[in-house]
Amino acid sequence: MGVGANYVLNKGLLATGSTAYAFGEVVKLLADQKCVRATSADDLGFLGVCQEDLDTTRLATGKAVIGVAFLGLVRVIAGAEVNVGDRVTNNTSARAVTRSRTAAGSQPKSTFGIAMTYASGDGVHIDVLLTPGATY
């Protein structure tokens, strides 16, 4: 497992919702420079990775701006076993899971990155090369 991240593009976004954010969770970009935890599996929105913890007290102020990585190598929380080289998408817990290939002719599924390290299961941090806007 790597010990750090190599950020290329981070952006401060206004955090929305009512659930605390955790470093390494997947977030979805919203309009007006806002974000929300990405809890719709295979979200087709523009996805990034939360770069800090945010508790519900600070979130409830409606003024909490958090750092979100959109490009580079970042640490992401896995939601299941992930192998090196797997394309990853989000699950309903805003964590990275292996993206299975879509059947020919069906709607593309979101892929936000490629796993650079192995995760043995849920809750393990992995390194991911972010690939913005990618579908599979």
The verdict on residue 119 lying in a domain is yes
The verdict on residue 136 lying in a domain is no
Return per-residue pLDDT of the chain as tens, 136 residues: 345 556 678 999 999 999 999 999 999 999 999 999 999 887 777 889 999 999 999 999 999 999 999 999 999 999 999 999 999 999 999 999 998 776 665 555 678 999 999 999 999 999 999 987 766 5
Buried-state track 58-70, b at ≥16 Cβ within 10 A, e below 16 = ebeeeebebebbb
Q: What distance in Å separates the CA atoms of residue 136 and residue 132, rounded to the nearest whole number?
A: 12
Q: How many domains does the chain have?
A: 1
The verdict on residue 78 lying in a domain is yes
pTM for the model? 0.88
pLDDT at 106: 59
Domain that holds residue 30: 6-130
